[in-house]
Amino acid sequence: MNCYQHPDVAAVAFCRTCGKPLCQVCQRSVEGTIVCEEHAPQQVAPPPAPRAAPADYQVAAVPVVTPVAPPPPPLPERAPLRLDRQEIATLIKRGEELLNNGDFSSARLLLRRAAEAGSADAALTLGSTYDPLTIQRLGAIGAKPDIARARKWYQKAVELGSDSASEQLDKLAQAAH
CATH number at residue 137: 1.25.40.10
* pTM tops 0.85, yes or no: no
pLDDT score for 133:
86
pLDDT at position 60 over 80? no
Which structural domain range is residue 145 located in?
85-176
pLDDT score for 43:
47
Nearest to 126 by CA among 136, 113, 139, 138: 113
CA distance 136 to 147: 13
User: 30-39, 65-74, 109-118, 120-129 — which is least confidently predicted?
Assistant: 65-74
**Range 125-129 contact pairs with CB under 8 angstroms and sequence separation of 24 or more:** 125/92, 125/95, 125/96, 125/99, 126/95, 126/153, 127/151, 127/152, 127/153, 127/154, 127/156, 127/157, 127/165, 127/168, 128/168, 129/99, 129/104
Whether 98 and 35 map to the same domain: the answer is: no
pLDDT score for 4:
82
Per residue in 120-165, pLDDT tens?
A: 999 999 999 999 888 888 777 778 889 999 999 999 999 999 989 9
pLDDT at position 66 over 80? no
Per residue in 5-52, pLDDT tens?
A: 888 888 888 888 778 888 888 888 877 788 888 887 754 445 566 666
Total domain count, the chain: 2
Tell whether 103 is covered by a domain.
Answer: yes
